[in-house]
Each structure stands twice: as structure tokens, then as C-alpha cells.
Structure 1
Amino acid sequence: MSTRAWVRNHKVAGFVAGRFEGEYEGRIQQLVVIQSSRGVAIVPEAGLIPVDQDYIQRQASLDLERVIAALREGGLDDAAIQQAWAQALATVEKIERQSS
């Protein structure tokens, strides 16, 4: 697993997937591509704050809580949710192996 730079601003948190110079809000500036759990965002570099792994884990936990609550509301029990989690992890690991 590679180490990524994790950052946030007032709207999004995630890891830095790329950097480039481009126009944003009518002026040329340094921009950063952030990969978050909700997709990709392009934001000005000047407004970013670095974050540590603890922050990202707390945010991921909040996202997962909503997913788990929705699955339970839909009728899945904890065993089925754990099976879905294991299946998702296996798929991600398979994709990572294929792309490396």
C-alpha cells in the first residue's frame, strides 16, 4: 500500500491524487485533485490543510456508520453486513493486484 498525502478543506477530505495549474474561479492557480469517498474534487491548493490518519479514520467511520445503518434498515443482519464487507475488501484487493 502506498503512502498518500491526506488533506481537507471546508468541503472535502481525501488523498491527493494529482496536482496541476489551471483556472479556478476566474484566475490561474495551483489546483489539487482530491480523491474522497464521494468521488473526485478539484480544489485550490492554497485552501488545503494536511490531516493525519486518525482524522481520516474518524471520517471513514462516520461514512461507514451511515452505510451500516442503511443496510440494517434494509433488513440485513450483522453477519450479512460482515460478509458484504469481506466481499468488498476481496474485490478491492483483486483489482489492486491486477493493476500492479
Structure 2
Amino acid sequence: MLQGSAQLLGLLVWRVQREGAVGDKCEVLNKLETAEKEIAELRKLRSEDAKANEKVVSIFATQEQTWFNERKKLQQHIGALINELRVFEKKKDEAASKFE
């Protein structure tokens, strides 16, 4: 009878250990599933961030090109005004020399 009780106790201990291991496996599997979901969400967020960054870079590049074009136009306009000023100065000097 003592031997049967020991075997029964051994079976109960083995069952508790097995269920504990299964419980641990379930817990580990739940953590793994949670981690996989978080990874998927982070990848999705990273993809969305990359798209948003691409749009920002595109907008900035377009604006920068507009600034360069405007600068070029202003430089050409300044050059034309300087040329007009030189012509005006030359005519003024010629008119002044005629009066002398």
C-alpha cells in the first residue's frame, strides 16, 4: 500500500510538472505571439514613417528648386539693372562732356 501511494504521489508530481511545463510553454507562446504582433506593428509604423519622410524630402526638394530658380531670376534682373545703370552713366557722361 505504501508503494502504491508513492507511485500515486509520483504520478501526481509528474502530472503537476508536466502541466507546469505546458503552462510555461503556453506562457512562452503567448509572449512570442505578442512579440510577433509588436514586430508587425513596428514594421507597419516604420513603413508609414518612411513614406512620410519621402514626401517631406520631395516637398523640400521642390521648394529648394523653386528658391534656386527665383535666385537665378533675381541675379539676372540685377545684372540687367546694372547694365542699364552703366548705359545711363555713359549717356550722362556724354551729355556732361557736350556741355563742357
TM-score range, shorter chain: under 0.3
TM-score normalised by length of structure 1? 0.24
TM-score normalised by length of structure 2? 0.24
Greater strand content: 1
Identify which of structures 1 and 2 has the higher relative contact order when contacts are C-alpha pairs closer than 8 Å and 6+ apart: 1
Greater helix content: 2
